[in-house]
């Protein structure tokens, strides 16, 4: 008798954990637009910096993307119930964003920021963040993004300037633009299913 009760409790706990992971993934999918926005912002900064050789192209573009993002984060944060998994994933991404901002500003102002170092560091941080999110959410697609970022990190470290730029552009396209769009499609399907059941 006790064995059956313990098995039932264990099943209920596992179901709760699985439902928390599923809810975390659904909430994460709702932020697909940010992947897309930041991917476009990276491309804008790259083109602007390459064509004009303007030293502040990256900081201005990144700050502009943050200014666009923050009001939406605040507005959406009020409308979406917060979960432990959602807070954990949000914390990982927030910590990465702050780390990148501090690292690249410090290296830039110190005059120690070169293309290979900046791309390798950005790819490593983005790979780590995508991997942490994917492991928490048990999401293989996002782990594939982490692998792409890490491969780009290796190419940036050992490749030529052209290979470094190509690897970064491909990683941005696959892991920001394509993955962000994929997340938005998943969210849209989820909304349609909810509306159909309502």
Helix residue ranges per DSSP H, the chain: 2-29, 32-52, 57-79, 84-110, 115-137, 140-158, 161-172, 179-197
Most confident by average pLDDT, 49-53, 93-97, 119-123: 119-123
Task: Locate 54 and state its tokens.
Answer: 């303007």
Q: How many residues does the chain have?
A: 198
Domain count, the chain: 1
pLDDT at 24 over 70: no
Quote the pTM value: 0.82
Q: Quick check: 88 pLDDT over 60? A: yes
| Distances in whole angstroms, Cα of residue 27 to Cα of each of 51, 119, 150, 156 | 38, 29, 25, 32
Angstrom CA distances, 140 to 14, 68, 131, 146, 155, stand at 20, 29, 9, 10, 23
- pLDDT on residue 185: 93
Q: Which domain holds residue 161?
A: 2-197
How sure is the predictor about 16, in pLDDT bands with cuts at 50, 70 and 90? low
Kindly state the average pLDDT of the residues 65-80.
78
How confident is the model at residue 2, as a pLDDT? 66
Residue whose token pair is 């927030």: 94
């Amino acid at each position: 008798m006790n064995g059956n009760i313990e098995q039932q409790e264990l099943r209920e706990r596992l179901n709760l954990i699985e439902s928390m992971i599923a809810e975390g993934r659904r909430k994460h999918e709702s932020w697909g637009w940010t992947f897309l926005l930041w991917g476009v912002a990276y491309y804008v900064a790259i083109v602007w910096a390459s064509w004009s050789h303007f030293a502040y192209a990256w900081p201005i573009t990144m700050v502009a993307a943050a200014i666009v993002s923050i009001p939406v984060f605040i507005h959406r944060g009020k409308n979406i119930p917060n979960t432990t998994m959602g807070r954990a994933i949000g914390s990982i991404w927030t910590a990465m964003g702050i780390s990148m901002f501090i690292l690249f500003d410090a290296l830039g102002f110190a005059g120690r920021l070169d293309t290979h170092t900046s791309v390798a560091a950005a790819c490593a941080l983005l790979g780590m963040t995508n991997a942490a999110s994917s492991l928490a959410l048990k999401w293989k697609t996002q782990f594939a993004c982490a692998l792409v970022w890490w491969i780009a990190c290796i190419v940036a470290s050992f490749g030529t300037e052209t290979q470094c730029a190509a690897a970064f552009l491909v990683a941005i396209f696959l892991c920001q633009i394509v993955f962000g769009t994929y997340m938005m499609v998943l969210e849209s399907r989820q909304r349609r299913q909810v509306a159909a059941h309502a």
